[in-house]
Amino acid sequence: AQKVTQAQTEISVVEKEDVTLDCVYETRDTTYYLFWYKQPPSGELVFLIRRNSFDEQNEISGRYSWNFQKSTSSFNFTITASQVVDSAVYFCALSEAWETSGSRLTFGEGTQLTVNP
Amino acid sequence: DTGVSQNPRHKITKRGQNVTFRCDPISEHNRLYWYRQTLGQGPEFLTYFQNEAQLEKSRLLSDRFSAERPKGSFSTLEIQRTEQGDSAMYLCASSQGSASYNEQFFGPGTRLTVL
């Protein structure tokens, strides 16, 4: 069965600090996809990034970067120079490629990030 | 494009009552998903549709829950004989295509409170 673990329940930083959110996943599938979503206080989940299991290249998008390592089954998310607007709950999620799984997303429990001014 | 919409945004009901929620996906999206999120937890999958066909239901979806997607457009989720444990945020998402890598776009959710 697939599982996603986000061990950090809450993280609090001061603005401009860098912060890394950890994500560890379990799956029996050799083909799978990993996602990060942001849930701001308004509640609506916002898609941030998708990675497939074939592509271990790290990715950078502005202040955001992602480190995917299959050897450790991890897909960590770093925010550089954090801002107050980054305060939100961040979810890591996994979907498997099996047709029967229907691309359902399995979410971790989320990490509440608070960025203080 | 107005994104995924859900109605109502909030619902308060008494235990034992039936409730129905509606989700309108992004217009060209053929897949529609329902998730449930309780406080402090990540969303949990309930069921999904490809067009009008309901292809999978989670074990979380007891017999009191039923979902429909007539004509492959909007979807409804009904909970019969609500229980206090049903209190949660019910999220709808939609995606285009049938591949697992397609990102799902989420609506704002319907928050259900069962008294």
The predicted pLDDT at position A99 comes to 55
Q: Nearest-CA residue of chain B relative to A34? A: B101
**Minimal Cα–Cα distance from A80 to chain B, Å?**
24
Q: Which residue of B has its CA nearest to A96?
A: B100
pLDDT less than 50: residues of chain A: none
**pLDDT by residue (tens digit) across B57-101?**
888 888 999 999 998 899 999 999 999 999 999 999 999 877 767
Q: What is the mean pLDDT of residues B13-33?
A: 96
What is the per-residue pLDDT for A42? 86
Is the Cβ–Cβ distance between A93 and B101 less than 8 Å?
no
CA angle B44/B31/A30 to nearest 5° reads 65
**A103 at the B interface (CB within 8 A)?**
yes
For residue range A60-69, list pLDDT tens digits in order: 889 999 999 9
DSSP annotation of B15 reads T
If DSSP codes are grouped into helix, strand and coil, which group holds residue B70?
A: helix
Which of B40, B42, B108 lies closest to A107 in CB terms? Answer: B42
Interface probe for A, chosen from B46, B101, B106 (most Cβ of A below 10 Å), is B101
Q: Which of B68, B65, B59 is nearest to B79 (CA)?
A: B65
Computed over every residue of chain B, the mean pLDDT equals 93
CB contact A44 to B (< 8 Å): yes
Judged by CB atoms closer than 8 Å, whether chains meet at A110 and B42 is answered as: yes
Whether A104 sits inside 8 A of B105 (CB atoms) is no
Residue B70: φ, ψ to 5°: -65, 135
Contact A103 B43 (CB under 8 A): no
CB contact under 8 Å between A109 and B42, yes or no, is: yes
Give ∠ CA A97-A20-A52 in degrees, rounded to 5.
15
Cα gap B54→A5, rounded to integer Å: 29
Question: Quick one: pLDDT at residue B23?
Answer: 98
